[in-house]
Copies of this chain bind each other. A is one copy, B any other.
Amino acid sequence: MLIHPHGESMSDISEFQRERERLTTLMTEKADMNMKRFLNLDTKVYEDGALPAKQKEMLGLVASLVLRCDDCINYHLVQCYRAGVSEAEIVETMDIGLIVGGSITIPHIRRALKAWDELGRKT
C-alpha cells in the first residue's frame, strides 16, 4: 500500500485514479494535434457498436493483461466495473489472458484482483 502524502492511507485503485487524472491533464496540455487525435480515437473505439461497450471493455482488459500494463488493466477494470461486468466474468477474462500470456501475467492478475476487490468493497 502506498503512503499518501497527507499521511492517510488510500486504496491503490483510488490512488491510481487520482494520479491518472493529474497526469492526463498534463498530457493534454503538452499534446500536439496528432496526439490529441489518438486520444480521441482511443475513446471512440470503446463506444457501443456491433459489440456493446461492456464487451469492448473486456477486450481492452485482456489486451492490457497480455501486454502487462498495470495502469491499462486498472483503467479497464474500473470501466468493466461501471459497465456491470460480474466477478465471474472478470476471472474468466483473466483466465484467457493467463493461458495466452503465460505465468508472466500472474503478478498483474494478483494486483488486478486486489484492485477489483477494492472496487467492490466501496460500493
Listed in ascending order, the chain A residues whose CB lies under 8 Å from chain B are: 1, 3, 5, 9, 20, 23-24, 26-27, 30-32, 34-35, 37-39, 41-42, 44-46, 49-51, 55-56, 58-60, 62-69, 71-72, 86-89, 91-107, 109-111, 113-114, 116-117
Contact for A67 among B55, B100, B110, CB less than 8 A: B100
User: Do A72 and B104 touch across chains, with their CB atoms under 8 A apart?
Assistant: yes
Contact for A51 among B49, B51, B89, B109, CB less than 8 A: B89
Residues from chain B with a CB closer than 8 A to the CB of A98 are 35, 38, 45, 102
A85 to chain B, nearest CB (A): 10
A93-B5 CB under 8 A given contacts A67-B101, A99-B41? no
